[in-house]
Chain A
Amino acid sequence: MDSLNFWVIQTFNGISYGALLFLLGAGLSLIFGVMRIVNLAHGSYFLLGGYVALTVIWTTGSWALAIPVAALTIAVVGLLMERIFLRPLGFDPLRQVLLTVGFAFLFQQAALDIWTGNNFDINPPQALTESVEFAGLFLPLYRVFMIATALAIGIVLWLAMEKTRLGAQVRATVDDAQMARGVGIDTSRISMMIFSLGAFLAALGGVIGGAFLGVYPGLDFEILPLAFAVVIIGGMGSLGGAAIGALLVGLADNFGKALFPEISYFTLYAPMALILAVKPTGLFGRE
């Protein structure tokens, strides 16, 4: 029974971590799909989201208010970054990628100046810190909340992508940006929207993840490779792929740490490299 418990609990933890990674990875994946760039400032959005949420909590005391304010603030940051700096570079992925790194450094310093170098935790409301009993197991309610949030966001995104006109335009841009422009889709506007949506989702992840990862300098570049793992395994530009990738990375990370602590990160990144070598567009990405 004990060993069964171990597997169930670890699986649950893995899934809830995967839920967080989905929020981070979905945006990164869409940005890649639309703009063909890897946004190395994506981890910074995650971290800044957590910091902005802290400020909101300190000033208003409201955790529920902190989530939308932080996510929207960072969405605006992403929007400005895309409009003012990335867009003028035109279609030059390498320079755009390098530019995002420059911003990651600037954000790092800004965060250090504004929020100091201390480690913070984002404390969720009392109601979410309890545990629910399910089939004889005590599951932390907060992790259930994380899974529910990711699920809700995922469904909304999926519906928007599959059922709306705008979603169809985004999919067309992912498939072939040049052709999409040819049929009159404003791909520049699509890029702008997707970039700020990605920043929004990453910041949302940062707020929600702040409760158990904490918020501290360096988190940005610690979480970034995991987001890449999600995107690579799932396939770049694919929402469903990001969901599956997030789940796999969440589980692999959890079980890796529990079962083979000495090589736990290796067990995460080596499969990622192998997948890329065999199928550069990821498991579920389109050629």
Chain B
Amino acid sequence: MTSQQIKILMVVVALGALAVIVPNTNSFVILLSTRALAFAILVMSLDILLGYTGLASLGQAAYLGVGAYATAILATTYQFGLGMDFWLVILFGMLVGAALAAVFGLLAIRATGVYFLMITLALGQCVWGLAYRWNSLTGGDNGINLRVKPKFAGLDLGHDVTFFYVVFFLFALSLLAMYVLVQSPFGRSLAGIRERELRMQILGYNTWLHKYIAFIIAGGFGGLSGVLWAHTAGIVSPENVVLTTSVDALLMAVLGGAGTLVGGVIGSFIVFGLREYLSTLVPWWQYVLGAVYVLTILYLPFGLMGIPERIRQWRASSGKQADPKTLASVPS
């Protein structure tokens, strides 16, 4: 078995354990896991940009937002998507997210580094501005309540375990799809662009197009995450598209380890866990969250997924009295 196969096996086992254990816990944990999984799709979509293409986006919540608003508006105004047509809404949400990314990408893709961060922030704010102010469509500050969950073929998504499995299924499918994508030749050339764009251009790659396609794919998965989020939360409001939601997604990806996909899932579970579980125990939970972020960025440039590698490095160099500073400044 190669180390790659071992890693895949570990992820499959972990997901299997999650699927078996979570439904047997209480409803609080089930809801929390459902949320974390729905949001993790967004984090993974961001990781395609951040970890595999080297584009740090600060506006990823926009795609979750359009997916969620599309779901909510279809469900409340047109009673659409509450039966078997739920699957059509899933498809539609992905298309809306991808379409938005196709428009935004035209503006954003040329920018790199911090400029990309800024332009995606501006674009994300455009969506937020519309969600917040366009009362007749979005319900403004109050948002839209989704009171009914879809029911079809004997499945009632209002039942928390059923809904958990639906979200889990779509999450696993997304993870698989994104994994295939990043392992494909296309994904490999994205990594090449991340490492050195100029070299890829010289080799004859159309780097703009590669980045643009990656951006659209990320937008599509963001839209999917939005559809699931809308039904998980039961309400869609400007809060979902606000800057801090994009920032959350970015931090979860970095916390778990950018460029690993599953790192984002771990990040999502940790943050949702801290936020929703720890907050019921202690009033100072946000210090823990903030400290976790700060320490991760300072000492774990590759996130939690980078810990085994760090230990290996430390072991390899401990005999040679390594200077801790050189370890801390591993380029990210």
**Residues of A participating in the B interface, judged by any CB pair closer than 8 Å:** 32, 36-38, 40, 85, 88-90, 92-95, 97-99, 101-103, 105-106, 108-110, 112-113, 221, 224-225, 228-229, 232, 261-266, 268-270, 272-274, 276-277, 280-281
Contact = CB atoms under 8 A, between A and B. Distances in A.
A277 B128 CA distance: 19
9 contacts: A38-B118, A89-B298, A92-B332, A99-B297, A105-B290, A106-B287, A262-B134, A270-B126, A273-B108
A217 B141 CA distance: 17
Contact of B122 (A97, A112, A276): A276
Interface residues of B, number: 49
B290 A103 contact: yes
Given A262-B136, A273-B122, A106 B243 contact: no
Interface string B104-138: 10111011011101110111011011101111100
B117 A38 contact: yes
Contacts of A36: 114
Nearest first, the 5 closest Cβ-Cβ pairs linking A and B are A265-B129, A102-B293, A109-B286, A106-B290, A277-B107
Mostly helix, strand, loop or mixed at chain B's interface? Answer: helix
Interface of B: 56, 104, 106-108, 110-111, 113-115, 117-119, 121-123, 125-126, 128-130, 132-136, 242-244, 247, 250-251, 254, 283-284, 286-287, 289-291, 293-294, 297-298, 301, 328-329, 331-332
A40 B130 contact: no
A115 to B, nearest CB: 14
Contacts of A93: 113-114
Given A102-B293, A229-B122, A273-B123, A280 B242 contact: no
Contacts of A221: 242-244
A141 to B, nearest CB: 31
B298 A85 contact: yes
Nearest to B130: A266
Given A95-B332, A228-B118, A277 B113 contact: no
Contact of A225 (B104, B121, B135, B331): B121
A106 B251 CA distance: 14
